């Protein structure tokens, strides 16, 4: 037991020494970046030049109150002097402060602009399942959300909740243009509200260029696909006979629609084919895709 306590104390001391050295280096760097002689920093902070010299040399400890005064004089937050990964550049600090104080719409616009520089970071944690109706998006999305312990959202349900009416009434009342506008607004809400989520969207969203571009920018995308016959079979199994009722050419139309949208769906980062697959097998395929592509990693790599 004595050995364990000694080791723990030694580790704590090593950690403390590293922190003091890091603090010393960051104070010296911040002073250099601002072109401040130590004497001037002493006058601005009220901390003696001798104390500042000891601080930058990594000798002795400094109280939190004195360190706060040094940080204020350097126009920095105190955590910027203690952390390893916060830039000390004054412009970066000012931009960070402005971002924190900005209203949510401005923050969202800034994130969108930065996404062009590092889209993988903007997408990390969010997964969207795309594809025609009947491919299995809702079923697999619910299963994956439960397994990964993250929310599962259906965009059409989000639209219904916002409109206060079923989707059929939304279409009847607002028409296709109104529905598409509400779809884009719902996508924006989901991407703003959730850092980690699995989203399922309607098959036609890929035909809306601006909305689809936003989706690709803010979500990792997986095309859930199957054969035309299974698309039709699953839709009918859901109790919707409209695709076939009074329309003997429905299958041909479905094949043409799938053919037309395939280049759009193919922009997804990954695909899961559910044709002739049991639900559990398709679920395993989806989980493997998420893990392989590191879609939930905070710093996932851009695979596209």
Does residue 62 have a pLDDT over 80? no
pLDDT level of residue 14 (50, 70, 90 thresholds): low
Arithmetic mean of pLDDT over the chain: 82
Does residue 225 have a pLDDT over 50? yes
Longest dimension (CA), the chain: 91
Please give the Cα distance from 199 to 214 (Å, whole number): 14
pLDDT digits (tens, 9 = 90+) for 68-85: 888 788 777 777 777 666
pLDDT digits (tens, 9 = 90+) for 90-105: 566 566 667 767 787 7
pLDDT of residue 36: 79
Name the pTM for this structure: 0.61
Q: What average pLDDT score do residues 145-165 get?
A: 94
pLDDT of residue 300: 44
pLDDT level of residue 304 (50, 70, 90 thresholds): very low
More confident residue, 27 or 212: 212
More confident residue, 294 or 82: 294
Q: What average pLDDT score do residues 228-254 get?
A: 70
Locate 219 and state its tokens. 């979500």
Q: What average pLDDT score do residues 190-217 get?
A: 93
pLDDT of residue 303: 41
pLDDT level of residue 116 (50, 70, 90 thresholds): low
Integer angstrom CA distances of residue 268 from 97, 206, 223, 254: 36, 10, 6, 21
pLDDT of residue 45: 86
Options 2.40.50.140, 3.40.50.1970, 3.40.309.10, 1.10.260.40; CATH for 2-101 is 1.10.260.40
Does residue 164 have a pLDDT over 70? yes
Spell out the domain ranges in the chain. 2-101, 119-293
pLDDT of residue 78: 76
Does residue 221 have a pLDDT over 50? yes
Q: What average pLDDT score do residues 111-136 get?
A: 78
Q: What average pLDDT score do residues 142-167 get?
A: 94
CATH architecture of the domain 119-293 equals: 3-Layer(aba) Sandwich (3.40)
């Amino acid at each position: 037991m004595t050995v364990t306590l000694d080791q723990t104390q030694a580790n704590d001391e090593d950690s403390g020494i590293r922190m003091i050295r890091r603090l010393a280096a960051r104070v010296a760097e911040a002073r250099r970046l601002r072109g401040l002689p130590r004497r001037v920093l002493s006058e601005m902070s009220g901390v003696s030049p001798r104390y500042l010299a000891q601080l930058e040399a990594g000798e002795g400890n400094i109280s939190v109150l004195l360190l706060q005064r040094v940080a204020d004089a350097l126009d920095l937050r105190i955590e910027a002097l203690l952390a390893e990964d916060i830039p000390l550049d004054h412009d970066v600090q000012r931009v960070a402060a402005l971002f924190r104080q900005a209203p949510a719409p401005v923050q969202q616009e800034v994130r969108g602009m930065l996404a062009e520089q590092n889209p993988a970071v903007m997408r990390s944690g969010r997964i969207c399942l795309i594809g025609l109706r009947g491919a299995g998006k809702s079923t697999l999305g619910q299963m994956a959300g439960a397994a990964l312990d993250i929310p599962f959202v259906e965009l059409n349900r989000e639209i219904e909740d916002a409109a206060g009416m079923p989707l059929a009434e939304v279409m009847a009342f607002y028409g296709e243009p109104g529905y598409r506008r509400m779809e884009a607004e719902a996508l924006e809400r989901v991407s703003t509200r959730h850092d980690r989520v699995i989203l399922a969207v309607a098959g036609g969203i890929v035909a809306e260029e601006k909305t689809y571009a936003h989706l690709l920018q803010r979500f990792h995308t997986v095309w859930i696909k199957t054969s035309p016959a299974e698309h039709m079979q699953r839709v009918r199994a859901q109790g919707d006979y409209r695709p076939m009722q009074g329309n003997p050419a429905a299958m041909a139309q479905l094949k043409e629609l799938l053919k037309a949208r395939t280049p759009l769906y193919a922009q997804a980062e990954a695909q899961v084919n559910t044709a002739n697959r049991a639900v559990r097998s398709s679920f395993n395929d989806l989980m493997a895709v998420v893990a392989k592509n590191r879609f939930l990693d905070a710093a996932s790599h851009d695979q596209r």
